[in-house]
C-alpha cells in the first residue's frame, strides 16, 4: 500500500480549518482561520456569525492546505470531516464542502467525531504513542475522561454533568472583566496570584463516579465576588483567578489519575483547548509521576480546534472502513 493522504476539514465552532496528513501522523499542512477577533466584541461565539464566516473562508482554507502540502485534489486518498458535536450551522459548512469534494472527486468520505479528533492530536505530536492509554479531553464544550483501547475503540470513563471546564474558564474570565477567550487570560493572570488565597469547592460525585461538575465552583466564585462588592471590599483579581484555576485543575487531575489507576494504564494524555493550560500540565505531570505514570500532551496549536487532528482520526477511520455516503449530516450533539 502506498502513502495515504487524508484531507481533513474542521468547522465545528469558530475555527475554519483544513489540513493534509500523510499516513496518519505526518503533517503536510495545517491551515486555521480563526474567528476570535470577530467574536471578541460579543464576549463569546455567536453561532450565526460563525456560520457565515465559515462560508466565506472555507474554500480558500482548503485550497491553501493543498497548496502548502504541495499536492492536488487528485493526490488525496480520502476526505475526513467533523460532523459533530458542535454548532450545527458551523458544522454544516464543513460537512457540505467535504461531501461536495468527495462526490466530485469520487473519493471516500470519512466522518469524524470532534472529541475523537482532539484525542488523535496526541498521535501526531508523539509518534511513538500507541494505545491503550487514558485521555482527558477538556475544552469549552467538553470535559471527558476516556480510555483509548485502540485507534478506533474509545470508552468514556467520565464526563461533566454540567459546565465543561473551558466553559467555566470563559464565564469566570467574563466576571473578572478579562475578556475572551477566557482560558488563556486566566492562565496568564493566575501566574501573578496565590492559588491558595481562596478555597473554592471541588465536587466529587457519590459512589464510584468520576464525573465532573464545574457549575458549583463557577457559582462559588461569582457569589464570593458579589459578596465582596456588596461589602465594598477590594480583592486581587490574580488571586481569584489562581484560586479558581487551582480548583478546576485539582478536579481534572484527581479524577483523571484515578481513572488511569482503575484501568491499569501508565500513560495519560491531555487534549482540547484546556490542555494548553500551564497549571494543568504541570500539576498532572507532577501528580502522575507519583503513581509511576507519564503525561503527554499536544503543542498548543493542536490543542485548539484544528484539521490535523481530524485528518489523523480520518486515517484510522479509513483503515477501519468507516465511510459515509451523501446522506451524512451535521449533528450538534452526538455520542462518542
In this structure, what CATH number is given to the domain that contains residue 173? 3.30.420.40
Q: Is the pLDDT of residue 17 over 90?
A: yes
**pLDDT, position 154:** 95
Cα–Cα distances (Å) from 242 to 197, 223, 265, 272, 288, in that order, read: 8, 17, 30, 21, 21
Give yes or no: residues 248 and 293 share one domain.
yes
Is the pLDDT assigned to residue 9 strictly greater than 90?
A: yes
pLDDT at 335: 82
Dump pLDDT digits (tens) for 97-130. Answer: 999 999 999 999 999 999 999 999 999 999 999 9
Run of H or E residues at 212 = none
Are 207 and 106 in a shared domain?
A: no
Give the integer Cα–Cα distance in Å for 143 and 93: 25
pLDDT at 204: 87
In a domain, 59, yes or no: yes
Is residue 112 located within the same domain as residue 28? yes
Q: 176 and 205: one domain?
A: yes
Q: Is residue 126 part of a domain?
A: no
Is position 334 within any domain?
A: no
Residue 325 belongs to some domain of the structure: no
Identify whether residues 68 and 166 lie together within a single domain. Answer: no
* Overall domain count for the chain: 2
User: Would you say residue 336 lies in a domain?
Assistant: no
Residue 273 maps to a domain = yes
Considering the domain architecture, whether residues 273 and 137 belong to the same structural domain is answered as yes
Q: Which three cell numbers stand for residue 165?
A: 471546564
Bin 287: left if φ > 0, else alpha if -120 < ψ < 50, else beta. alpha
pLDDT digits (tens, 9 = 90+) for 256-285: 999 999 999 999 999 999 999 999 999 999
324 within a domain of the structure (yes/no): no
Residue pair 93/125 in contact by the 8 Å Cβ criterion: no
Is 315 among the domain residues? yes
Residues 185 and 226 in one domain: yes
Q: pLDDT tens for residues 281-299?
A: 999 999 999 999 999 999 9
| Residues 68 and 83 both lie in one domain | yes
* Residue-number span of the structural domain to which 158 is assigned: 131-298
Residues 47 and 141 reside in one and the same domain: no
Same domain, 242 and 220: yes
Q: Where are the beta strands (DSSP E) in 41-197?
A: 78-84, 109-113, 133-138, 143-150, 153-159
Asked whether residue 32 falls in the same domain as residue 156, the answer is no
Give SS3 for 312: helix
Is 181 found in the same domain as 113? no
Amino acid at each position: 500500500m502506498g502513502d495515504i493522504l487524508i484531507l481533513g476539514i474542521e468547522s465545528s465552532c469558530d475555527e475554519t480549518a483544513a489540513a493534509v496528513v500523510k499516513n496518519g501522523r505526518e503533517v503536510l499542512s495545517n491551515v486555521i482561520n480563526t474567528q476570535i477577533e470577530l467574536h471578541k466584541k460579543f464576549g463569546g461565539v455567536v453561532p450565526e456569525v460563525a456560520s457565515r464566516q465559515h462560508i466565506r473562508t472555507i474554500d480558500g482554507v482548503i485550497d491553501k492546505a493543498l497548496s502548502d502540502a504541495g499536492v492536488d485534489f487528485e493526490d488525496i486518498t480520502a476526505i475526513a470531516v467533523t460532523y459533530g458535536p458542535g454548532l450545527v450551522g458551523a458544522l454544516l459548512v464543513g460537512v457540505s464542502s467535504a461531501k461536495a469534494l468527495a462526490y466530485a472527486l469520487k473519493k471516500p468520505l470519512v466522518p469524524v467525531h470532534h472529541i475523537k479528533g482532539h484525542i488523535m492530536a496526541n498521535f501526531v505530536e508523539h509518534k511513538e504513542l500507541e494505545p491503550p492509554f487514558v485521555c482527558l479531553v477538556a475544552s469549552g464544550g467538553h470535559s471527558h475522561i476516556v480510555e483509548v483501547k485502540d485507534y478506533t475503540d474509545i470508552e468514556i470513563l467520565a464526563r461533566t454533568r454540567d459546565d465543561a471546564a473551558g466553559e467555566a474558564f470563559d464565564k469566570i474570565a467574563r466576571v473578572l472583566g478579562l475578556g475572551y477567550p477566557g482560558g488563556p487570560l486566566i492562565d496568564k493572570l493566575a501566574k501573578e496570584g496565590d492559588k491558595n488565597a481562596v478555597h473554592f469547592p471541588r465536587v466529587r460525585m457519590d459512589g464510584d463516579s468520576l464525573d465532573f461538575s464545574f457549575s458549583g465552583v463557577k457559582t462559588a466564585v461569582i457569589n464570593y465576588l458579589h459578596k465582596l462588592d456588596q461589602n465594598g471590599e477590594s480583592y486581587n483579581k490574580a488571586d481569584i483567578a489562581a484560586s479558581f484555576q487551582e480548583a478546576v485543575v485539582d478536579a481534572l487531575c484527581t479524577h483523571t489519575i484515578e481513572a488511569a489507576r482503575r484501568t491499569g494504564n501508565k500513560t495519560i494524555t491531555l487534549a482540547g483547548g484546556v490542555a494548553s493550560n500551564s497549571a494543568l500540565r504541570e500539576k498532572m505531570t507532577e501528580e502522575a509521576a507519583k503513581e509511576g505514570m507519564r503525561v503527554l500532551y499536544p503543542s498548543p496549536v493542536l490543542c485548539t480546534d484544528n484539521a490535523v487532528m481530524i485528518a489523523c482520526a480520518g486515517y484510522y477511520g479509513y483503515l477501519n472502513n468507516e465511510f459515509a455516503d451523501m446522506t451524512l449530516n451535521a449533528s450538534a450533539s452526538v455520542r462518542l
